[in-house]
Amino acid sequence: MTPGWQPICASEAVSDGASGVRFPARIGGETVSCFVVRFKGEVFAYLNRCSHVAMELDWQPGRFFDADAQFLVCATHGAHFEPDSGRCAGGPCTGRGGLRVLQVVERDGAVYWQPDDYVEILPPVRS
Ligand code: FES
């Protein structure tokens, strides 16, 4: 069974076109990075994995936007992605698809994501 909505951060942690917030998840037993950004007032979340080569996008932790805050950019070879859909907008991602979209919602001053059959939550830490 898929767990319910998982908290990522406070709404105020993601400003329009500014740094995103990274958060961990799991794919097939491997810990991966995901991120949420705000664009034109709405929040969007993606798996932090370029569709060109499976590398994280941010050139510094949380820095995903280009200088004009119009596209998400991969730091490695410069692929551009549409912030509100994850679709490839140019560069080495052309013909290779876009970013893996995560379901995200904002309510009561916080941002939440919905794990799915592919991108799962981390297992609880045992002490
Ligand atoms: S790894 Fe992202 S553009 Fe090449």
Joined together, the tokens standing for residue 71 give 């596209």
- Where are the strands (E) in the chain, listed by range? 6-10, 21-27, 30-39, 42-47, 72-73, 80-81, 88-90, 101-107, 110-114
Q: Which atom of ligand 1 is nearest to the CA of 57?
A: 2
pLDDT at residue 119 tops 80 = yes
Q: Which residue has its alpha carbon closest to ligand 1 atom 1? A: 53
The structure's pTM equals 0.94
50 Cβ below 6 A of ligand 1: yes
Q: Which residue has its alpha carbon closest to ligand 1 atom 4? A: 77
pLDDT digits (tens, 9 = 90+) for 22-71: 999 999 999 999 999 999 999 999 999 999 999 999 989 999 999 999 99
